[in-house]
Homo-oligomer: A and B are copies of this chain.
Amino acid sequence: MKNRLEEIRKQQGITQEELASVLEVSRQTIGSLENGRYNPSILLAFKIARYFGMKIEDIFIYEEDQ
C-alpha cells in the first residue's frame, strides 16, 4: 500500500507533530505511515480521511497481492 499522506499534509502546511496531535496518535506513527514502515489501522485511516475531508481511497492506494 502506498499513500499520499506527506503530500496532503504539506499542502495543508502542518507538521507531523500537529497532525499527530489532532488525530491523537504519536508523531512517530505519522512519520512511520509517511515513510511506509507500516499501514494504518482502518480506524486511523478513517480519522485521517475525515480530517482532510477525503475518502480513504483518495489517500491510501491499495496495490494488488501482498
- Give chain A's interface residues, CB within 8 Å of chain B: 1, 39-43, 45-46, 50, 55-57, 60, 62
Contact = CB atoms under 8 A, between A and B. Distances in A.
A55 to B, nearest CB: 6
Contacts of A1: 42-43, 46
The number of times this chain is found in the oligomer is: 2
Nearest to A64: B50
B62 A43 contact: yes
Nearest to A66: B43
The 5 closest A-B pairs by CB, nearest first: A46-B62, A42-B42, A56-B56, A42-B45, A39-B42
A53 B62 CA distance: 14
A5 to B, nearest CB: 13
